[in-house]
Amino acid sequence: MKHKLLLVCILGFCSHINAQKQDDVKTVFQTSHPWKPSIDTRADGAIVYGAGGNPSDNSRRIPFEERVQSWRDRGYIAQFMTGIAWGEYQDYFMGKWDGKTNRLREGQKTLNGDTVFHGYMVPYIVPTADFIRYMKETQIKRAIDAGIGTIYLEEPEFWMRAGYSDAFKDEWRKYYGFPWRAQHESPENTYLSNKLKYHLYYNALEEVFTYAKEYGKSKGMDVKCYVPTHSLVNYTSWQIVSPEASLASLDCIDGYIAQVWTGTSREPTYYNGVQKERVFENAFLEYGSVQSMTSPTGRRTYFLTDPIEDRSRDWADYKKNYEATFTAQLLYPNIADYEVMPWPERIYEGLYRTSKDSGQEAKIPRHYSTQMQIMINTLNDIQVSENKVSGSRGIGVLMANSLMFQRFPNHAGYDDPRFSSFYGQTFPLLKRGIPVELVHIENTPYADTFKDLKILVASYSNMKPLEAKYHDFIAAWVKEGGVLVYCGEDIDPYQSVMEWWNTNGNDYHTPAGHLFQKLGLSVKPVEGKYQYGKGSVYILREDPKHFVLKPGNDAKYFSLVAKAYKDDAEKGDIEQKNNLYLARGAYIIAAVMDESVSDKPLVLSGLYIDLFNKDLPVLSRKTINPGEQAYLYDVKKIKDKSKARVLCGASRIYDEKQDANSYSFIAKSPENTTNVSRVLLPGKPVSVVINNDMEKNPDTMWDEQSNTYLLSFENDTEGVKVVFKW
């Protein structure tokens, strides 16, 4: 009995230590490869991908446990990620796992019978009961048996164009209790089909993560479970269905990774009648969507950026758009955990075009890898801030998971090109320098959802509320002084699908009719302003897609929001500008937008280190032109200049030591990369020694104005020792 008690105590202690380590993981990256010096990014955690490797590389040849241990041996907290909708699961797909027949029939299929594949012999799957059991037994159990305490099941995705396989038809009958209906035949069929896709992955994640928690507990482990997911903005735009915000209701989910990068954010959009890429603006809304989805629930959220993307472009294109997405993620000051990159092997070792029109390919340029590493190392340091992004605050746009239910196919000639109904509500605000918030209708039961919100813009032209109760919370908020701006004609063909507002005793022609009645209005009020309690309701009878599809057609919409902000919310005139600005500790983040109210640059004066420049110049003035972003270290924010430290650089710093006249540290970063750092010192150095080699002419690298030394050397994964004396 004593031995059993001792074992329980040891397991409990180990579980406590494991939880501590997992909580310390601020930065992560994902790779299917074992450790090697070329991808030694020096984040806190290494997410080892796939028990069977990654379908797109040869990592399957190396046992999962060996890959995990290789990262642990280098000081990383090892974690685990695999796909929940696709993966290296050929033993399942080919019927080898349990001896049953070929399971490729369970792949997601389109109208013409084609399977939607992620890669060779890797279909997007319909998550059946057998597949869920397979995931538990072959993926989750194996990861936990390897001592993994954090599990990520990424990209729960069901394509809108799919829904025709026998497996899906079987799930339809189980869920709805009547025979399958082809989604292309009616709006209602489309809506029901996508609602089922949404449910299937909600259920799959709930079952697999519940198993992970329970199995981990049986081994004395507190397993954490996360969902890496694209934003609701992107999934709707790309015509994919995923559970998104509803997952917040599951106790078995601890948080998310917001999978936002150039590839998602460069999706062309309309504004002022022009279709083009708007990477920064789109990224800002994508990150905002995930932040809004999670913040009222208190779940932990990691933001992802990628220095390249899936589509083949040139290095200059990658760099420009990386800066745009990186800036966008930092403009959310309540998020300070990051996936610094996915797939470092393709970033450091992949070959991409050297210029836009060149046929020549090369590995990442040294200047870009240096800048990238400077940027990702700041993510180990940057903290949550109480500061807010500049601009008129408290204006939100309502979203719902059902945005994904009515994008494909089109019915009755009704179209929403490039998801313009969403951008029609957001771009006219964001392009005028308003840090518009996104509000998930599924989160309205949480009180914090309405915190500091003054105006809520809503439309049911491109989405529908999945539950009637959400209207109670919206109406209660308006009654206490909130301002609702409703835009829409309510003429899309999805208004009459079989749902709660027209079943079980309800007889509303549109879901908005139910909302309006809750607000004390008729079920079909005309355009105008109405009062409800202490609050106001504005009705604008135009589908919001027209605000961006037609040139100059957003003026009426913006004027209405501005009037409501000034007169009803009593917040004064809306500040119109072409930029967003935020200070987070010593870090300054700024973006200047084109297509805005001004073509003037934003000029900042002070004493800054430019973190988007691999040479880390010290500037007293920074000019940011429209279409550009800036990331700066504000030297004047340093409080204790007697303490030597590396302010920024392209390597991670370990083993710092300082005495009266010296400072030393060890710097680590991937091989074949160049470190450039700015080091704050109490005084001008008389000697600088790098790996026992004395620097010549250290005077030339000293900046008197900032009290910093510009350090440069070739990186080494084993560490470079630097010693300063003054």
**114-162 pLDDT per residue, tens:** 999 998 889 999 999 999 999 999 999 999 999 999 999 999 999 999 9
4 has a pLDDT exceeding 80: no
Task: Give the residue from 382, 302, 376, 333 showing the smallest Cα distance to 79.
Answer: 302
509 and 468 together in one domain: yes
Residue with tokens 């106790």: 251
390 has a pLDDT exceeding 90: yes
At 642 the pLDDT is 94
At 181 the pLDDT is 98
Q: How far is CA 466 from the centre of its chain?
A: 24
Q: Which residue has the higher pLDDT, 8 or 59?
A: 59
469 and 602 together in one domain: no
Which residues, 6 or more positions from 420, have their beta carbon under 8 angstroms from its beta carbon? 269, 270, 544, 545, 548, 549
Residue with tokens 């998020």: 335
At 19 the pLDDT is 45
Percent of the chain at pLDDT above 90? 91
**DSSP structure string for 104-170:** GGGB-B-TTS-B-EEETTEEPB---HHHHHHIIIIIIHHHHHTT--EEEEE---EETT---SHHHHH
Mean pLDDT of 98-126: 91
Is the overall model pTM greater than 0.85, yes or no? Answer: yes
Task: Provide the 3-class DSSP secondary structure of residue 493.
Answer: helix
Which residues, 6 or more positions from 458, have their beta carbon under 8 angstroms from its beta carbon? 397, 398, 474, 484, 485, 486, 487
pLDDT tens digits along 31-48: 999 999 999 999 999 999
pLDDT tens digits along 321-335: 999 999 999 999 999
Task: Give the residue from 102, 81, 85 showing the smallest Cα distance to 93.
Answer: 102
1 has a pLDDT exceeding 60: no
Contact (CB, 8 A) for 654 and 666: yes
Residue 495 lies in a domain: yes
412 and 461 together in one domain: yes
CA 689 → CA 570, 662, 694, 697, 724, distances in Å?
A: 61, 11, 4, 12, 7
At 13 the pLDDT is 39
Mean pLDDT of 296-300: 91
Whether the link from the prior residue into 409 is cis, omega within 30° of 0, is: yes
Task: Give the residue from 189, 122, 590 showing the smallest Cα distance to 390.
Answer: 590
At 184 the pLDDT is 97
Taking the CA atoms of 89, 94, 98 and 100 in sequence, report the sign of the dihedral they define: positive
Residue 387 lies in a domain: no
pLDDT band at 11 (very low <50, low <70, confident <90, very high): very low
Amino acid at site 632: L
pLDDT band at 55 (very low <50, low <70, confident <90, very high): low
Q: Give the β-pairing of 361-362 and 352-353.
A: antiparallel
CA 609 → CA 344, 374, 648, 680, distances in Å?
A: 26, 11, 9, 12
Percent of the chain at pLDDT above 70? 96
16 has a pLDDT exceeding 70: no
Distance CA 282, CA 427 (A): 9
Mean pLDDT of 500-512: 97
CA 175 → CA 132, 170, 199, distances in Å?
A: 17, 9, 9
At 14 the pLDDT is 44
9 has a pLDDT exceeding 50: no
Amino acid at site 34: P
Q: Which domain holds residue 504?
A: 395-568
Task: Give the residue from 250, 50, 76, 27 showing the smallest Cα distance to 152.
Answer: 50
539 and 601 together in one domain: no
pLDDT tens digits along 224-266: 999 999 999 999 999 999 999 888 889 999 999 999 999 999 9
Residue 629 lies in a domain: yes
97 has a pLDDT exceeding 80: yes
Residue 530 lies in a domain: yes
Residue with tokens 């957003």: 554
Amino acid at site 252: C
Mean pLDDT of 493-500: 96
The neighbouring-strand residues paired with 125 are 107
Amino acid at site 81: M
Residue 315 lies in a domain: no
How long a stretch of residues is the chain? Answer: 726
8 has a pLDDT exceeding 90: no
222 has a pLDDT exceeding 50: yes
658 and 717 together in one domain: yes
Q: Give rounded-to-5 percent helix, strand, coil for the chain.
A: 35, 25, 40
Distance CA 152, CA 226 (A): 5
689 has a pLDDT exceeding 60: yes
Which residues, 6 or more positions from 413, have their beta carbon under 8 angstroms from its beta carbon? none
The neighbouring-strand residues paired with 276 are 269
What is the average pLDDT value for the chain, to the nearest integer? 95
608 and 681 together in one domain: no
At 21 the pLDDT is 64
Distance CA 292, CA 439 (A): 6
Task: Give the residue from 236, 232, 209, 269 showing the smallest Cα distance to 82.
Answer: 209
Phi, psi of 452 (to 5 degrees): 65, 5
Residue 527 lies in a domain: yes
Task: Provide the 3-class DSSP secondary structure of residue 236.
Answer: helix
Residue with tokens 């589908």: 543
At 2 the pLDDT is 39
At 555 the pLDDT is 97
Task: Please state which of the ranges 18-27, 270-279, 280-289, 305-314 shows the lowest mean pLDDT.
Answer: 18-27
Phi, psi of 68 (to 5 degrees): -60, -50
513 and 595 together in one domain: no
Task: Give the residue from 562, 564, 557, 559 showing the smallest Cα distance to 530.
Answer: 564
Taking the CA atoms of 37, 39, 45 and 49 in sequence, report the sign of the dihedral they define: negative
The neighbouring-strand residues paired with 529 are 538
Contact (CB, 8 A) for 592 and 624: yes
Task: Give the residue from 132, 130, 192, 129 showing the smallest Cα distance to 160.
Answer: 192
Residue 130 lies in a domain: no
At 56 the pLDDT is 65
Residue 19 lies in a domain: no
Given 542, 568, 594, the domain boundary residue is 568
At 121 the pLDDT is 86
590 and 670 together in one domain: no
Taking the CA atoms of 687, 690, 695 and 698 in sequence, report the sign of the dihedral they define: negative
Amino acid at site 127: P
Task: Provide the 3-class DSSP secondary structure of residue 359.
Answer: coil
564 and 687 together in one domain: no
Distance CA 237, CA 547 (A): 18
456 and 564 together in one domain: yes
Side-chain half-sphere exposure of 610, counting CA atoms within 13 A: 18
Which residues, 6 or more positions from 672, have their beta carbon under 8 angstroms from its beta carbon? 38, 348, 715
Domain at 541, CATH number:
3.40.50
Amino acid at site 195: K
Taking the CA atoms of 322, 327, 332 and 338 in sequence, report the sign of the dihedral they define: positive
Contact (CB, 8 A) for 326 and 13: no
Which tokens belong to 137? 């037994």
At 657 the pLDDT is 98
Contact (CB, 8 A) for 77 and 111: no
726 has a pLDDT exceeding 90: yes
Which tokens belong to 225? 């479970």
Given 508, 539, 568, the domain boundary residue is 568
pLDDT band at 59 (very low <50, low <70, confident <90, very high): low
pLDDT band at 20 (very low <50, low <70, confident <90, very high): very low
684 has a pLDDT exceeding 90: yes
Output DSSP code: residue 364: P
Side-chain half-sphere exposure of 526, counting CA atoms within 13 A: 0
Q: Which residue has the higher pLDDT, 662 or 22?
A: 662
How many domains does the structure of the chain reveal? 3
Task: Provide the 3-class DSSP secondary structure of residue 411.
Answer: strand
Sheet of strand 693-694, all strands in order from the earlier edge strand to the far edge: 652-658, 662-668, 720-725, 687-690, 693-694
pLDDT band at 22 (very low <50, low <70, confident <90, very high): low
- CB contact burial 312-350 (16+ within 10 A = b; e otherwise): ebbbebbbebbbbbbbbbbbbbebbbbbbbbbbbbbbee
405 and 524 together in one domain: yes
At 463 the pLDDT is 98
Output DSSP code: residue 565: I
519 and 463 together in one domain: yes
